[in-house]
Chains A and B, each alone.
Chain A
Amino acid sequence: MALKLFNDSGVAKLQANDGEESITATANGAVKLYYDNAEKLATTSTGVDVTGDLKFNSGYGSAATAYGVRAWVNFNASGTVSVRGSGNVSSVTDNGVGYFTINFATAMPDGNYSVGSWARNNTTTVWNVTVGSLTSLAAPSTTALPIFCRDDGRASVDPTYVTLNIIR
């Protein structure tokens, strides 16, 4: 094994095998880690980019792949509809009472994602709010997720809190 540490036009490089990157560090820029000359982790101005699976053991019992929330939103569907907080959501479309569309800022890789939801209505007459969909609605797509909000009696409602997590 030939360990090389050298400067290549402003990029500090460490190569465990001659010509194959192990670590590179660019002045005022990215630090990259490689596996067998293939980039796997890079620092960026906003954080870290990982190529491939991210695995960790945080109570899993063993290192396992972590699956990310690719989009989330918390919005008020009553009165003047407003978004309290979100990630990877460009907008919420108010289509009518209890009928909304979550539009993704960056499209999902496919439509096979999982959705978790919770909603709350600030009235004493509506106890449970279900967030779901209907066969008459468009199917979840890579760019948007249509949802319906219903109460116990299956009436459409505009909850004060609608929260959704989209995992893929």
Chain B
Amino acid sequence: MNERIIYETEEGGVAVIIPVAECGLTIEEIAAKDVPEGVSYHIVDVSEVPSDRTFRGAWSWE
């Protein structure tokens, strides 16, 4: 899948979910299962996620 699921963590950071297409679930089903309950999320293209992890801890969602 060329998409990622993003949600804000309780600590104020950003978690990025890398879905596995071979599991047989749709990205919406994966989000419903793997995003913490009650947390809103966004599905974005992988190109929107920075590949430079130097400041990974400072990532935020806008």
Interface pair B57/A96, CB less than 8 Å apart: yes
Min CB gap A166→B, angstroms? 14
Min CB gap A81→B, angstroms? 5
Name the interface size band of chain B.
20 to 34
Interface centre among B17, B20, B33, B53 (most CB of A within 10 A): B20
Binding site secondary structure of chain A: strand
Contact of A91 among B9, B18, B49, B51 (CB under 8 A): B18
| A131 contacts the other chain (CB 8 A) | no
Interface pair A88/B23, CB less than 8 Å apart: yes
Given A75-B18, A95-B15, is A103 in contact with B56 using a C-beta cutoff of 8 Å? Answer: no
Count how many chain A residues have C-beta atoms less than 8 Å from C-beta atoms of the other chain: 23
A67-110 residues at the B interface, CB under 8 angstroms: 75, 78-83, 86, 88-97, 103, 105
- Enumerate chain B residues within 8 angstroms of A79, measured Cβ to Cβ: 51-53
Interface pair A96/B56, CB less than 8 Å apart: yes
A82 to B33, CA, bound (A): 19
Interface residues of B (CB under 8 A from A): 5, 9, 13, 15-20, 22-25, 30, 33-34, 46, 49, 51-53, 56-57
A77 to B50, CA, bound (A): 13
Contact of A93 among B16, B22, B46 (CB under 8 A): B16
- Enumerate chain B residues within 8 angstroms of A96, measured Cβ to Cβ: 13, 15, 56-57
A88 to B56, CA, bound (A): 28
Given A78-B53, A95-B9, A97-B53, is A90 in contact with B30 using a C-beta cutoff of 8 Å? Answer: yes
Given A89-B23, A96-B13, A97-B57, is A81 in contact with B18 using a C-beta cutoff of 8 Å? Answer: yes
- Enumerate chain A residues within 8 angstroms of B16, measured Cβ to Cβ: 81, 93-94
Min CB gap B43→A, angstroms? 12
